[in-house]
Amino acid sequence: MLSLLMNPLQAEWKLPQSLQIHGFVSQAFTLTTDNNFFGDSKDNGSFDFRELGINASWRIMPKLQVAAQGVMRWAGKNDQGDPRLDYGLVDYTFLSNTENTWGLRLGRVINPLGFYNDTRDVAFTRPSIFLPESIYFDRTRDLALSSDGGQIYGERRTRMGDFLFQFNIARPRVGEQEELALLGGDFPGDLGGGTSFSGRLLYEKDGGVVRLGVSSFQVNFSFDSAGVPSNSPLGAGSIKFSPLIFSGQYNGERLSLTSEVALRHFNYSDFGPRIPDTDFTGLSWYFQATYRFTPRWSAVARFDSLCTELGDCNGEDFAAKTGQPAHRRFADDWMVGLRWDVTSSIMVRTEFHHIRGTAWITTEDNPNINDLHEDWNMFSLLVSFRF
């Protein structure tokens, strides 16, 4: 000790071996016809989609781990780079052996939804530049990604395959983007999230050659109109959103096939005449094929479909009631893409979309919805780096 004090250059300060720090940065260019997506993308294109993040995990003890990720994200006017905590949690494993793993996570925890929600924030782990928008909406990304509360998780390994279970009790993250998406405007008052529930059960065979899953999310919102003028356009209403997602995937040596189907139930009540009480269910689904030519080159093709309300998938009833374009209630997206892993840390991706409908594009980037076009195309190029 005396020697180190006399010559501090001999002292080596080392980080714990179990501490892992990783990061990523992505920049995309998007060019569209007629409609804007992630910025002013019409005609000359937009560079307004970029992501910057850093995450860390530290296993303090064999059964105790802490993990967190901070992100800055730009996505047109819908997301303008405000720093946020994607997740930050304490993870305690109270049972772990060759057949079972059970544990508890507390803090800001990831919502267990579908195949891709857990890793949607890192470009390297997405199957394409943009996830299937019919299920993984970018305009309400924070709401879908994580919640504040707790999660119990478990894994059971058997000869038949592996079963994985997660269940969350938490409060959703609700901001201006969610209010615009759910209420159609920024009204006097505050939209907040109440205690909500989400869960997922996955089955994996032969190390993931076959994967099947079902997941559900019951989100409760309430609108607080206290303190606003008596002539406010909205009353103290509530929204219940309950999507149910069925997932299936096959992973061969070169070919992967993935499909997910979601039934999305909405219930609006007590908002007043501006938003009448309503109860409806929408349908979302996609089918996707990925082919790996070499370890560094792969291609992807997908058809992605969104119907906001069953029984009115063409939006004609909606248009008659509201005067808005019928194509705001549906979107069918044909996509082809190519991926090149330049190195293990650098990836380049490009994709082309032909889309019919505008259900998932934002009003922030398209303030005059009457100027939207039903049929439109989108080209995107993305470069991503990770460490």
Q: What domains, with CATH codes, occur in the chain? A: 19-386 (2.40.160.10)
Distance (Å, whole) CA 199 – CA 180:
26
Pair 272, 234: CB distance under 8 Å? yes
| Percent of the chain whose predicted confidence (pLDDT) is above 70 | 94
The whole-number average pLDDT for the span 322-342 is 95
Looking at every residue in the chain, the average pLDDT score rounds to 90
Residue 267: its pLDDT value, please? 92
Does the CA dihedral 25-31-37-38 come out positive or negative? positive
Question: What's the alpha-carbon Rg for the chain, to the nearest Å?
Answer: 23
Q: State the average pLDDT over residues 277-293.
A: 95
How confident is the model at residue 202, as a pLDDT?
97
Give the separation between CA 249 and CA 258, rounded to whole angstroms.
4
pLDDT at 255: 97
Q: What is the DSSP string of 40-53?
A: S-BTT-EEEEEEEE
Over 50: is that where the pLDDT of 241 sits?
yes
Structure confidence by residue, pLDDT tens digits, 177-226: 788 788 877 777 788 888 899 999 999 999 899 999 999 999 988 888 76
**pLDDT above 50: residue 8:** no
pLDDT at 356 over 60: yes
Given pLDDT bands bounded at 50, 70 and 90, which one contains residue 321? confident
| Residue range 169-188, pLDDT digits in tens | 999 988 777 887 888 777 77
Predicted confidence at residue 34, as pLDDT, reads 86
Digit-coded pLDDT (tens) for 137-175? 888 888 899 999 999 999 999 999 999 999 999 999 887
Band (pLDDT 50/70/90 cuts) for residue 132 is very high
Give the separation between CA 200 and CA 110, rounded to whole angstroms. Answer: 12
* Confidence (pLDDT) at 227: 61
Average pLDDT over residues 296-307: 97
* Among 381, 360, 306, residue whose Cα is nearest residue 36: 360
Residue 2 confidence (pLDDT) above 50: no
